[in-house]
Amino acid sequence: MLMKSLYKIFMILLLVQSTTNAVTLNNDRDTILELGMEMSDMRNMLEAYILIGAKVDYKNPTQKLKDGMVHYEELLRVIKVKYPLNTEIQESISTSLNAWKIVKSAMELALGNANLEALKKGAIFIHDNIRTVIKEMAHMKKILLDTSRLKNKEALNASIEIAASARRLSAHYMMDLWHLNDPTIQKHWNKGLKIYADSLEILKTSPFVNNHQFNVLLKNSIKLHKYFTRMGEKSKIFSILIDKKANIAFNEAKEMTNIILQSK
């Protein structure tokens, strides 16, 4: 009797795990949103890797990294099946997956018994090579935005880019805190701030500022951008606060995205 109960619990856990990483794309809008969120999640995986390497057990970074790796592969598998005749998307998938193979191998260092030096080298390697993975997802997103009949495409892309930028900033901040020997960290931090700022300017002039809920979210996003700017100017002290702020920025950008999509 006990064995049967344990077996049922095990099967339920497996079902929950597979559901967590399941991807359903009903239309181009779903694909655009998933690609935008995955661009954010890819940076989140880099941050999880750093937290593991720095031995900071904050929100179970090991599980976050594992789930993120599975979700990315599932997303690209579903997109590959959904757009079999779109040559440009198929080529972008192949390029992203080829870059992912070596990135994934480096990420798996954090799941093993690698020493600190190896983990730090792995983080720099991931940072150097993850851009191709993300760039191709951004390319697929652009293809679908350009050809879709969605309204307010510019505002939609801006809200998605704010979410991605928040994750980028948090990951690069953590890289700097971990004292990684990567001279490009500051350049990419500055780029993240600029994309965030440019996206805010697009949303400030969009018709959605007349929506009260959207306006509140936008004002919060502006405040958070100022926070990230100040954090970049200060001498670094180890703090998880920036991850919390990035999560707020990410989630509020998702809310703005939903408002844009629901507009008539």
pLDDT 10s digits, 146-190: 999 888 999 999 999 999 999 999 999 999 889 898 999 999 999
Q: What average pLDDT does the structure give for the chain? A: 89
What's the fold here for domain 27-150? Answer: Four Helix Bundle (Hemerythrin (Met), subunit A) (1.20.120)
Mean pLDDT of 7-27: 55
> Looking at the predicted structure, is the pLDDT value of residue 6 above 60?
no
Residue 261, Cβ density class (10 Å: 0-12 exposed, 13-18 middle, ≥19 buried) = middle
Rounded to two decimals, the pTM is: 0.87
More confident residue, 118 or 59: 118
Mark 192-219 as b/e (b = at least 16 C-beta within 10 Å).
bbebbeebbebbeebebeebeebeebbe
**CA atoms of 251 and 121, how far apart (whole Å):** 31
pLDDT, position 224 = 97
Q: How many CB atoms lie within 10 A of CB 115?
A: 8
- DSSP string spanning 220-248? HHHHHHHHHHHHHHSPP---SHHHHHHHH
**Helix, strand or coil, per DSSP, at residue 131:** helix
Instruction: Express each pLDDT in 89-108 by its tens digit.
Output: 999 999 999 999 999 999 99
Task: Report residue 8's pLDDT band, with 50, 70 and 90 as the boundaries.
Answer: very low
Please report, as a single letter, which amino acid is at residue 239: S
Q: Where are the alpha helices (DSSP H) in 148-240?
A: 153-177, 185-204, 212-233
Q: Is the pLDDT reported for residue 15 higher than 60? A: no
Q: Where are the domains of the chain?
A: 27-150, 153-264
